[in-house]
Structure 1
Amino acid sequence: MIKIAISAAETSGDLIGSTLVQALKAQDGNLQIEGLCGNKMQQSGCKQRWDMSLVNVMGFTEVLKKLPSLLKLRAEMVSYFSKQQPDVFIGVDAPDFNFIIEKKLKKQSVKTIHFVSPSVWAWRQSRVKKIKQSTDLVLCLFPFEVDFYKQNNQRAIFVGHPLAEKLTPRKNHKPTKQILLMPGSRSGEVKRLLPELLLAAKIMSQQDETLSFHLVLANEELLGWINELIGEQKINVSIDEVHSHMQTADLVLVASGTAALELALVGVPMVVVYKLSTVSYFIASRLIKSKYISLPNVIANKPLVPELIQDQANAKNIAIHAMKILSSDQSKLISKFNNIHQQLSLNASEESAKLILDFIHE
């Protein structure tokens, strides 16, 4: 029996990893897949040995607070897989967490794959040295990433993006006046962004009473605080039903991350916002090489969607950009979003599963 170890430490990784697990199981129903994952991967057939919620944090100061438990978990995973000796270890995204595990297992002759390249082309480019020490093969979701790895003599293959399989461009969208609020999946980013998004919604409502607002949360972790924050404001709230609401929304106010790419793949206009803690932003702003932070803009290499970062991500600014989008023709933008979908649609999960099984047998 082939044993596959896997580690997905974030909500986006759990979503992408779930399609990979499904594809692997379709190739070989007897595969044993286990590791660190969330509900979606577990439902797809991965045995959850550790719950992803133990790791799901972002930002330098945020990670520091959780560092002792993160180090303990990582050591536990290395110890377990050192004894079990899987045929391959797959780190799904979360490079700062997964590369150490990969490196230690690789030294013990366990084959290692990193699925989803870190944004090494955008910032902290020196990480390529760590990648080469940790990973035998990188499976890239974007075509421009392979060029960077070739320049640095790292084995890498562009497989397309799994989300382009799950999400298809919507057709003949009729305006609904529905605005979706997506403040992210981590508690830190939700706490920083949601107050500004709710205030932006209030400003927008004052300008157009026919607008309706729907807040989609990744989990129930902050639900009590969020309901208190909303108060009397007319905001519908749901948990983890984002894709159905994307289909009907005229516009989404979204935290930068995989969600922005999901919206582009469906073909929904957006305003991208992001805030880090002051310390995290100070460090990150000095390390970033890319002109853009949102994936639609990075892929197109041009500003398709507004990006409001740190102090710019304030309610007044968000509302101005949002109302401008709502009052203008977005057909050219949608066409560019469709091009992104076409570029990334390569049956990524099926292709990745084949590559992984071939790699195991090399």
Structure 2
Amino acid sequence: MSRKIFIIAGEKSGDNYGGILCKELKKLRKDIFIFGIGGNEMEKCGVNLIKNFPFGQMGFTGVLKKIFAYLKFLKKVVKKIREEKPDIVIFIDNPGFNLEVAKRLKGKFKTIYYIPPKIWAHNYKRIEILRKYINFVIPIFPFEKEIYKKENIPYRYFGHPFIDLIKDREFKKFNNGKIKIGILPGSRKEEIEYNLPIMKKIVEKLKAKFEFDVLISCSDKNFKKYIEKIFRNFSEFKIIEDLHFLINNSDLILTVSGTVNLEVAYFEKPMIVFYKTSFLNYIFAKLMVKLNMISPVNIIVGEKIIPEYIQFFKIDSVIENAIELVKKGKLYEKEMLCFKKLKEILKEKGVSKNIAKFIIENVERIH
């Protein structure tokens, strides 16, 4: 009997993980039909997508600007699920939207939440929504296991799927002898608009200290135009589509906080992490978020090793850390030890493959 699965992934990272999961599901079942919400990666895997999801809004104000589009799309999604009657609905990250869909489905469909809300960071009361409307949870941080065990919510931990994004391959090198500073400004419009200008100021100040080239990560044509505009008066910069090529060719990475920090850590490249948003979003996040760390690398190892610069900070402090990392000083050594510890914690392989196998084998048992 063929299987019908609905998957909702509303962010770029969710689309990446959704794409790998769909690929693994289709390897296991040729007769599987997957439809839902996602981006290019899920579409490449043959997922039948519901188009025009208002992707990539950053923070409270970003969502508020498109609230009517969200509500309209929400109704469309719930209606589609009710019409298609999938065997299971899989939510990936994106809790603001996904939890609302789950509530409106009213427990009438089997559900899995893969990459559940970060209730340990803020809004712990969402645990009650998970308890009421989600049948099974697949967390990706090792310390989350204790939360779901304590709350008596069915779960299984397979590892963090970021490892599945990394393919074993040789990377060509830029051989002009210069130091390379990589910039990862984010994948959302607001993220890039708030973080890239400050990153540019940092590399401009660093230019007075030593010579280097700048490599900027971007695969979206619209964002490329914005980057070129911001860096139009800056010599020696290249826009690179291949993220892992950029990371491997960089001597230092300036990056926004997020899953990409784990990818940088995997390749053992020194980094400095940034988070900058609108003033209202910052105040809202400060009131809501309970953590004193933002990078998943620091969160997972349980110690603030990677320098983090949030909203208001002195550029001179960033410059000092950047120079120490490039010169491979004490901070560099600390980061390298941190990366080794992280790899030991997140040592599971084939995470997406194992999750896909679990889903296929347990659809009937989940309730």
TM-score normalised to the size of structure 2? 0.91
Distance 1:231 1:159 in 2: 45
Q: Report the AA paired with residue 346 of structure 1.
A: K
Q: Deviations over 1:176-196 (max 9, x none)?
A: 611111111111111111111
Residues 197 and 315, structure 1, Cα contact 8 Å, conserved in 2: no
Q: 1:176 to 1:21 in 2, by over 3 A?
A: farther
Quote the RMSD (CA, aligned, Å).
Answer: 2.2
Q: Deviations over 1:336-356 (max 9, x none)?
A: 313323432232101111221
Q: 1:278 to 1:57 in 2, by over 3 A?
A: same
Is structure 2 residue 358 aligned with structure 1 residue 355?
Answer: yes
Q: Report the AA paired with residue 105 of structure 1.
A: L
Residues 200-215 of structure 1: matches in 2 within 5 Å? Answer: 200-209=202-211, 211-215=212-216
Deviation at 1:5, TM superposition (A): 0.3
Q: 1:118 to 1:216 in 2, by over 3 A?
A: same
Instruction: Report the equivalent of 1:317.
Output: 317
Instruction: Report the equivalent of 1:266.
Output: 267
Residues 241-260 of structure 1: matches in 2 within 5 Å? Answer: 241-260=242-261
Instruction: Report the equivalent of 1:112.
Output: 111
SS of the residue corresponding to residue 125 of structure 1 reads coil
SS of the residue corresponding to residue 233 of structure 1 reads coil
Distance 2:146 2:20 in 1: 25
Deviation at 1:171, TM superposition (A): 10
Instruction: Report the equivalent of 1:126.
Output: 125
Residues 164 and 341, structure 1, Cα contact 8 Å, conserved in 2: no
Instruction: Report the equivalent of 2:62.
Output: 62
Instruction: Report the equivalent of 2:187.
Output: 185
Residues 4 and 86, structure 2, Cα contact 8 Å, conserved in 1: yes
Q: Report the AA paired with residue 305 of structure 1.
A: I
Residues 71-150 of structure 1: matches in 2 within 5 Å? Answer: 71-107=71-107, 109-150=108-149
Q: Percent identity?
A: 29
Q: 1:334 aligns with which of 336, 350, 356?
A: 336
Deviation at 1:332, TM superposition (A): 4.8
Deviation at 1:239, TM superposition (A): 5.5
Q: 1:24 to 1:106 in 2, by over 3 A?
A: farther
Q: Deviations over 1:13-66 (max 9, x none)?
A: 1111111111111111221111111111111232222255x2221211111001
Residues 171 and 248, structure 2, Cα contact 8 Å, conserved in 1: no
Q: 1:255 to 1:340 in 2, by over 3 A?
A: same
Q: Deviations over 1:171-216 (max 9, x none)?
A: 999996111111111111111111110111111111002x111111
SS of the residue corresponding to residue 357 of structure 1 reads helix
Pairs aligned (count): 358
Deviation at 1:296, TM superposition (A): 0.2
260-269 vs 334-343, greater mean Cα deviation? 334-343
Structure 2: 5+ residue stretches without partners? none
Deviation at 1:167, TM superposition (A): 2.5
